[in-house]
Amino acid sequence: MPIRLDRFVEEREPQWLELEEKLREARGRPERLGPDGVRRLARLYRAAAADLAAARRRFPGDPAVTRLESLVTRARPVVYSAEPRRAPLLEFFSTGYWRRVRERPLLLAAACLLMLAPGVLALLWASSDPGSAAGLVPEQFRHAGDAGGRALESGGDQAAFSSGIFTNNIRVAFLAFAAGVLGGLGTAAVLVYNGVLVGTVLGLASGAGNGNRLVELVAPHGFLELSCIAVAAAAGFGLGWAVIDPGSRTRAAALGEAARRGAEVVLGTVPWLVVAGMVEGFVTPRRIGVGPALAVGIALASVYWLLVAWRGRAREESGEAGRPLKAALAP
């Protein structure tokens, strides 16, 4: 028995109205609905498209068909705009970057540990055996261990030493990311070496009576720089994991996606390295004392990690929205 038009409309209209409501909520961007909302949007669209095909066949020329055609026409571009959009620059720096930093916490924790643990061991070693440890550090940092506590007293020595630490940390941050392509082993090696370097310099300076002066020179910008290194290294580990386990994709496709995400992390980290450079240039030369130097450094790093915790807590809607919608639309 053919279905009557009034019964067809009565049964299907609630879903049409729901689809219209979803379109109003999305305002052209399905990611506004969140993953569950996107899945629901896809199901409603497919149902409306099926209803339109049936209505055209059974009730040609009826106003209900025109109404359905308008609804499906408006929904289609919203549904099939599921590919992640390029967020405006302001949106990226206010939310997107922080989500990228936070999305793989285990890799971030591994990066921190690979710097911290070797650094502590190197500090203890350099404090107990400065003669052997001095041969490990580059020449530009060796005078931090000059005996008598007289090192780093001249303005030239202070500027050169602090600038050397800053330049080294920037280089390490970029290298830690790029070296990830070696299956993550390159990134791990860079982190371990930098941790050993920093720990050894601190140990030499402390043993020679220069510890306070070194902290005063390095702490204001050093904590933030080490944070940036850890974040860049986590992105490098993401590259390495794509090489080791590409999943269902080809290794080239997985590596390309990891490289894109990692490049976003590096791009978002650059302004914070600029902030560290400004602190190194304007705060460090003022000899503000150990306490204030530690306060400045800890405050800057705390602001950075609080932003990671706050701005990075929301799920990355563009990527998370696109995948459920594709899955829901798949036959």
* Amino acid 316: pLDDT: 41
**Same domain (yes/no): 109, 220:** yes
Is residue 289 a part of any domain in this protein?
yes
* Amino acid 146: pLDDT: 64
* Amino acid 33: pLDDT: 80
* Amino acid 165: pLDDT: 73
Give me 268's structure tokens: 């978002």
Is residue 211 a part of any domain in this protein?
yes
Domain count, the chain: 2
- Nearest-angstrom CA–CA distance, 5 and 12: 11
CA dist list (Å): 211 to 148, 215, 238 = 11, 6, 36
- Domain enclosing residue 162, as ranges: 104-315
Is residue 97 a part of any domain in this protein?
no
Cα-based torsion angle of the residue sequence 189, 274, 200, 197 in order, rounded to the nearest 10 degrees: 20
CA dist list (Å): 106 to 3, 84, 226, 265, 302 = 57, 25, 17, 16, 20
Is residue 147 a part of any domain in this protein?
yes
Helices 63-79 & 5-26 angle (0-180, nearest 10) = 30
* Amino acid 92: pLDDT: 85
**Same domain (yes/no): 162, 240:** yes
**Same domain (yes/no): 69, 122:** no
Which of the residues in the chain have pLDDT under 50? 1, 82-85, 87, 149, 316-331
**Same domain (yes/no): 44, 115:** no
DSSP 138: -
- Nearest-angstrom CA–CA distance, 50 and 45: 9
Is residue 24 a part of any domain in this protein?
yes
pTM: 0.67
- For the stretch 219-262, pLDDT in tens is 899 999 999 999 999 999 999 999 998 876 788 888 888 898 89
Is residue 169 a part of any domain in this protein?
yes
Is residue 115 a part of any domain in this protein?
yes
**Same domain (yes/no): 203, 163:** yes
- For the stretch 260-312, pLDDT in tens is 889 999 999 999 999 998 888 888 777 788 899 999 999 999 999 999 999 98
